[in-house]
């Protein structure tokens, strides 16, 4: 059967007429290699931000439905321009909106999830010999209204469409060459990974590696879809995200990441009554605040301290909610600290290799870096440290776990 | 029953955030007067031209379907911004694309005609108390593809939607106060007409008055829809286009117009064989060139001269076609002259008032203006004259037919 490749290009990759022409040539090359090609595009460059600026001027308290109606035009523009650029080179192409491509979402404006992809139209256009360009980040709901699907939207669109079409691979084109053992801007010795498992990618994404949104990885994992993260500026092989067999010889740790977008919120001397923590985290969840780490420490006689971390964006709301709870329960005080970083090591090799966490703590201790909070999963260990030590910590961990080889 | 008003705002009326807010206030005022309101909008200011510029850079020979996909975003942006501006003032509103509003067109990209308006969604939103904003100039075809409907599109959209919804009136907001007896920039004494018949409006539009596209007037006439042409910058009553009873006392002539977009093409000394004219005009029609006036004069012994007028946009193609025919038939020569204007008088009062054409010729003759070609309909007389005399001719006709009173 003919190969089917889904390619996704982000906003910077289609940011100008010249860049769109470049993408057109790359897409045509893939098509000429004998594959069917579906391309998912984001809006050009800063289009989305410019549209949002306009909207805020018209109505700062805009309704999500009208927001979707407005910003979905950004991808429609880039999709039709890319289709035209491909046609200019003599290849057959057609652009489709999310709705035309059969991307059906929940009836929730601005943060809908994709429910289904009715791929008949896309399949028909492919069978007609066309390269099909689909607008990322959007679909239609049951009423026929345009919806957008929130953060990481275009990656998720590409992966969901690739899964529905049973594509051989979903190529995510971006401005980096692939996934690295750590951020090359921090550690010049960082190495590009040839392969990475969904689980590792997911953990890396959730601790601050910005290449793929966790949502889209989760989705690729569910469909066992091979994802290839690569650069739109060169022909280098990037990093393949796929199911990695445990037979392959691998490093225990495959990546180190640092997230400096972390704030710790503490509620001090909470009277020792049952249900306080539950009340606090229920309220935070109701306010759509996503809490990362949690520590509770009990001091005899003076009640408990509860500390948790949230992302910088949520800190104002989180403190408000926590202060309300503090008042209600008679806690002493709410404090917050933003000078923090979360440093993480990730690797499927950790499973069955005892002592990886201990080794991490030892490395940090040797560098005289104090650990404020710790969280672990099967394949990840994360430590909250002072932000000023983040670079030092990443460099030391990268070296000590042998990632530069 | 509740009154239903359809309003159409052109690109200059929604050309900036401030102007959109103005339109929002005007729309809300209409709604608060107790009517249901549907608003049809064009793209903001120069958006459409900017998008076309981008497209030409990507592909000068773009396909009409992708053109539609691209430029239809312009109206989507202005529609959603207007809905948001109305919501900012506390009124309920919703924007709909042509497709969502049920505007179904032929499967002909870029110049589709509207076949049907499935108005259930619009009706439902109105019944929910919302002001409904619909993107002008576009619809969807049987495949679900976005189509645009060509010149005069947004006026036609508004009128077709108004007709489908059986609206009480379709208000066309523009940058002039209404329809005048002639162009006030040429003749300062020009008077605004309170009423004009569809037929007169149609003739005026076809001879160069740019306010409403003939297509949209034709459509209003078919549905006997009352159209109110008025300014978006003030609250003055404009001009009502409707069926005008012959009982009403009216001027014989209601308007004078000049069109300087006229080129005469001549084919000289065509050998006197039957079928030459038919061959020529069939070929011109096949090339989608719309021919206005035609004169044929026979010179004994040397064959016939045929002259016809076309709009400036079509002259290059028209000359090409004519030269082909000249070669085929052995005609002597093809000439063209662009320094011409068409001056017309229009009025339903001409029916049953003999001598109106004669009076026009006399007035022009008194001004020493030579007439090169003449064409007439039941309610119009048009003369082709040298372009340099256009202003003089219009001024004289306007005065002589008593239009400044």
The residue among A24, A45, A59 with the most chain B CBs within 10 A of its CB, best to mutate, is A59
* CATH code given to domain B4-174: 3.40.1160.10
Is B226:B182 a contact under the CB 8 Å cutoff?
A: no
Q: Over the stretch A195-207, which tens digit does the pLDDT of each residue have?
A: 899 988 888 876 6
> Chain A residues with CB inside 8 Å of B102's CB?
none
Cα B249 from Cα B95, distance rounded (Å): 43
| Sign of the alpha-carbon torsion through A286, A289, A295, A301 | negative
Chain A, nearest residue to B63 by Cα: A84
Chain A, nearest residue to B141 by Cα: A100
Is B177:B230 a contact under the CB 8 Å cutoff?
A: yes
User: Which of helix, strand or coil describes residue A132?
Assistant: strand
Looking at residue A163, its pLDDT comes to 94
Residue B125's alpha-carbon distances to A13, A345, B25, B119, B128, in angstroms, are: 39, 53, 20, 10, 5
User: How far does A138 lie from chain B, in Å, by closest CA?
Assistant: 14
Cα B234 from Cα B250, distance rounded (Å): 27
Q: Which residues contact A300 (CB under 8 A, 6 or more apart)?
A: none
Looking at residue A248, its pLDDT comes to 55
Is B112:B104 a contact under the CB 8 Å cutoff?
A: no
Looking at residue B58, its pLDDT comes to 96
User: Which of helix, strand or coil describes residue A277?
Assistant: helix
| Sign of the alpha-carbon torsion through B72, B74, B76, B79 | negative
Secondary element (H or E) of residue B281? helix B276-286
Looking at residue B274, its pLDDT comes to 73
Looking at residue A357, its pLDDT comes to 87
Task: Mark yes or no for CB contact B69/A83 under 8 Å.
Answer: yes
ipTM, two decimals, is 0.79
User: Which of helix, strand or coil describes residue A245?
Assistant: coil
B-contacting residues in A 40-69 (Cβ below 8 Å): 51, 54-55, 57-63, 65-67, 69
B265: number of CA atoms within 13 Å, CB side? 25
A181: number of CA atoms within 13 Å, CB side? 23
List the beta bridge partners of residue B39: B7, B133
Strands of the sheet containing B146-148, edge to edge, are B114-117, B103-105, B138-140, B146-148
Query: Between β-strands A169-174 and A227-231, what pairing exists: parallel, antiparallel or unpaired?
Result: parallel
User: CB-CB: which of A62, A84, A144 is closest to B58?
Assistant: A84
Looking at residue A250, its pLDDT comes to 64
The residue among B18, B47, B65, B69 with the most chain A CBs within 10 A of its CB, best to mutate, is B69
Chain A, nearest residue to B73 by Cα: A73
User: How far does B146 lie from chain A, in Å, by closest CA?
Assistant: 10
> Chain A residues with CB inside 8 Å of B133's CB?
none
* Residues of chain A falling short of pLDDT 50: none
B-contacting residues in A 287-346 (Cβ below 8 Å): none
Task: Mark yes or no for CB contact B77/A51 under 8 Å.
Answer: yes
> Chain A residues with CB inside 8 Å of B20's CB?
58
Residue B275's alpha-carbon distances to A130, B239, B271, B289, in angstroms, are: 46, 46, 11, 19
Kindly tell me the burial class for residue B187, based on how many C-beta atoms sit within 10 Å of its own C-beta (0-12, 13-18, 19 or more).
Answer: buried
Please give chain B's pLDDT, 405 residues, in tens.
Answer: 789 999 999 998 999 999 999 999 999 999 999 999 999 999 998 999 999 999 999 999 999 999 999 999 999 999 999 999 999 999 999 999 999 999 999 998 988 889 999 999 999 999 999 999 999 999 999 999 999 998 778 999 999 999 999 999 999 998 888 988 888 888 888 899 898 999 888 888 766 666 788 888 989 999 999 999 999 888 999 999 998 765 555 678 888 989 888 999 999 888 877 778 888 888 888 888 888 888 877 776 777 888 899 988 889 999 999 999 999 888 888 999 989 999 999 988 787 777 888 899 999 999 999 988 888 888 888 999 999 999 999 999 999 998 887
Nearest to B360 by CA among B211, B256, B269: B256
Looking at residue B69, its pLDDT comes to 97
Looking at residue B170, its pLDDT comes to 97
Contacts 24+ apart (CB under 8 A), B314-318: B314/B289, B314/B290, B315/B263, B315/B265, B317/B287, B317/B289, B318/B263, B318/B265, B318/B284, B318/B287, B318/B289, B318/B291
Chain A, nearest residue to B60 by Cα: A88
User: How far does B167 lie from chain A, in Å, by closest CA?
Assistant: 25
Task: Mark yes or no for CB contact B87/A62 under 8 Å.
Answer: yes
The residue among B14, B16, B53, B59 with the most chain A CBs within 10 A of its CB, best to mutate, is B59
Instruction: Please check whether residue B79 touches A, CB under 8 A.
Output: yes
**Crossing angle between the packed helical segments B198-206 and B214-222, to the nearest 10 degrees:** 160
> Chain A residues with CB inside 8 Å of B55's CB?
80-81, 84
Cα A245 from Cα A98, distance rounded (Å): 35
> Chain B residues with CB inside 8 Å of A81's CB?
54-55, 58, 70
Q: Over the stretch A308-343, which tens digit does the pLDDT of each residue have?
A: 999 888 899 999 999 999 998 888 889 999 899 999
Cα A58 from Cα A52, distance rounded (Å): 10
Chain B, nearest residue to A14 by Cα: B58
Cα A307 from Cα A295, distance rounded (Å): 5
Looking at residue A134, its pLDDT comes to 98
Looking at residue A207, its pLDDT comes to 66
Kindly tell me the burial class for residue B298, based on how many C-beta atoms sit within 10 Å of its own C-beta (0-12, 13-18, 19 or more).
Answer: exposed
């Amino acid at each position: 059967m003919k190969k089917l490749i889904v390619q996704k290009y982000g906003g910077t990759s289609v940011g100008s007429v010249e860049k769109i022409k470049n993408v057109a040539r790359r897409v045509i090359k893939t098509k000429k290699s004998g594959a069917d090609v579906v391309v998912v595009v984001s809006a050009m460059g800063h289009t989305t931000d410019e549209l949002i600026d306009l909207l805020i001027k018209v109505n700062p308290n805009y309704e999500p439905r009208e927001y979707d109606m407005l910003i979905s035009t950004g991808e429609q523009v880039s999709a039709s321009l890319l289709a035209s650029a491909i046609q200019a080179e003599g290849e057959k192409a057609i652009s489709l909106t999310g709705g035309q491509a059969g991307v059906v979402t929940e009836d929730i404006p601005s943060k809908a999830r994709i429910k289904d992809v009715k791929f008949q139209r896309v399949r028909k256009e492919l069978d007609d010999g066309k390269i099909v360009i689909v607008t990322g980040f959007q679909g239609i709901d049951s009423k026929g209204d345009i919806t957008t699907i929130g953060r990481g939207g275009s990656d998720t669109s590409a992966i969901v469409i690739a899964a529905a079409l049973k594509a051989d691979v979903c190529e995510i084109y971006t401005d980096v060459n692939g996934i690295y053992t750590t951020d090359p801007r921090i550690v010049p010795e960082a190495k590009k990974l040839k392969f990475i498992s969904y689980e590792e990618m997911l953990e890396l994404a959730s601790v601050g590696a910005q290449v793929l949104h966790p949502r889209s990885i989760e989705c690729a994992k569910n469909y066992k879809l091979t994802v290839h993260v690569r650069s739109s500026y060169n022909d280098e092989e990037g990093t393949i995200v796929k199911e990695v067999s445990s037979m392959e010889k691998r490093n225990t740790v495959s990546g180190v990441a640092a997230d400096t977008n972390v704030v710790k919120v503490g509620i001090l001397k909470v009277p020792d009554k049952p249900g306080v923590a539950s009340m606090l985290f229920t309220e935070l969840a109701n306010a759509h605040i996503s809490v990362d780490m949690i520590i509770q420490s009990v001091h005899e006689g003076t009640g408990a301290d509860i500390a948790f971390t949230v992302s910088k964006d949520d800190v104002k709301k989180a403190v408000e909610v926590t202060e309300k709870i503090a008042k209600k329960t008679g806690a002493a005080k709410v404090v917050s600290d933003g000078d923090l970083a979360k440093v993480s090591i990730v690797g499927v090799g950790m499973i069955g290799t005892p002592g990886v966490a201990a080794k991490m703590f030892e490395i940090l201790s040797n560098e005289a870096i104090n650990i404020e909070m710790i969280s672990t999963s099967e394949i990840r260990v994360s430590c909250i440290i002072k932000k000023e030590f983040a670079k030092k910590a990443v460099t030391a961990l990268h070296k000590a776990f042998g990632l530069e080889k």
